[in-house]
Amino acid sequence: MNKNYKIYIAGHKGMVGSAIWRALESKGYTNLIGQTSKELDLRNQQHVQAFFQSEKPDVVIDAAARVGGILANNNFPYTFLMENMLIQNNLIQTALDTDVKKFVFLGSSCIYPKLAPQPLQEECLLTSSLEPTNEWYAIAKISGVKACESIRKQFNKDFVSLMPTNLYGSNDNFDLQTSHVLPAMIRKFHEAKNNNNQPVTLWGSGIPMREFLHVDDMADAVVFALENQLDEHLYNIGTGIDLTIRELAELIQKIVGHQGEIVWDSSKPDGTPRKLMDVSKMKNIGWSATISLEEGIKATYQWFLENEHSFKEVKI
């Protein structure tokens, strides 16, 4: 990778995009460009085309998406399906039209079937049905993976898809209506601690198992993908280690210092029973995660404390 290549990071202000920006800067890449959603509406094909024609990026990293947890996916299925397809289709098609040298598409482990054999291998894609609570987002991301794969096949272009497991870290979303499980837990335990260690109610049984990857590790994997020629179109990005949601809650409770009770609301959905990624393909070509879960949660909680003033008050 030429350090002078112009690299466009779509979604550069989000948790993943900002981490990729930091990682590239630390490696000496200085010709980075980004536009906020107010500056460039990625759902608008004409606006995306005009931006590419003006800026002429050499490399594109698609870290832009409409994201959210079970609640948001259930409440806004059409929004999650259509907006994500519009965003990625505009970026992929315009990158192809303008002869971009490398395109990195970022998705999610939710693209894999709900009951696929564990750990999840790239080959299990489309082998059975998806988890209903996030299938809208998953279908959009699957279409992006297939678009990049078909471009490799038809045009021999360097388009690659990276599928991370559950991500967390600096610049995460701590809004309890739309956040994912780990940042939501951090906020709930913190607010409860500050309210005389009130009980914390969490969704589900606590039995499902999940894998978590710090966003700085994800960014490092993206840089690795840029700096190396990847022979396949799809790679899982994760730690290869999981734990139960109950164990996660107890770890976060310990780090935050909450002394109260944890109440599990089993009337709420658990989601997929287990989502452990097989990360052997990336490991075999030289990349592995390095940040432990406890280390990562401590750093994320510290970031939360430093930015707590910017979050709306939560009613426990």
Which residues belong to the active site?
137
- β-sheet bridge partners, residue 2: none
CB within 8 Å of 210: residues ≥ 6 apart: 165, 166, 181, 242, 243, 244, 245, 248, 274, 275
Ligand-binding annotation for 180, yes or no, is yes
Q: Which residue has the tokens 């898809």?
A: 161
Q: 133 labelled as ligand-binding?
A: no
Say which residue the tokens 């600096």 belong to: 170
CA distance 247 to 68: 22
Q: Is 107 annotated as a binding residue?
A: yes
14 a known binding residue? yes
216 is in an annotated binding site: no
Q: Is 115 annotated as a binding residue?
A: no
Which tokens sit at 122?
């790239």
Amino acid at residue number 87: I
Fill in the DSSP letter of residue 130.
P
270 belongs to an annotated ligand binding site: yes
260 annotated ligand-binding residue: no
109 marked ligand binding residue: yes
What's the rounded Cα separation, in Å, for the pair 147 and 285? 24
d(CA 126, CA 119): 16
Neighbours of 304 (CB within 10 A): 18
In angstroms, the CA 172 to CA 300 distance is 8
Q: Tell whether 108 is in a known binding site.
A: yes
166: left (phi over 0), alpha (psi -120 to 50) or beta: beta
Is 188 a known ligand-binding residue? yes
The runs of H, that is alpha helices, within the chain are 15-26, 45-55, 70-75, 77-97, 135-155, 181-194, 215-227, 245-256, 280-284, 293-307
* Residue 21, marked binder: no
153 belongs to an annotated ligand binding site:
no
Known binding residue 205? Answer is: no
Task: Give the residue numbers of the binding site for substrate.
Answer: 188, 203, 210, 270
Task: Give the residue numbers of the binding site.
Answer: 11-17, 106-109, 141, 164-167, 180, 188, 203, 210, 270
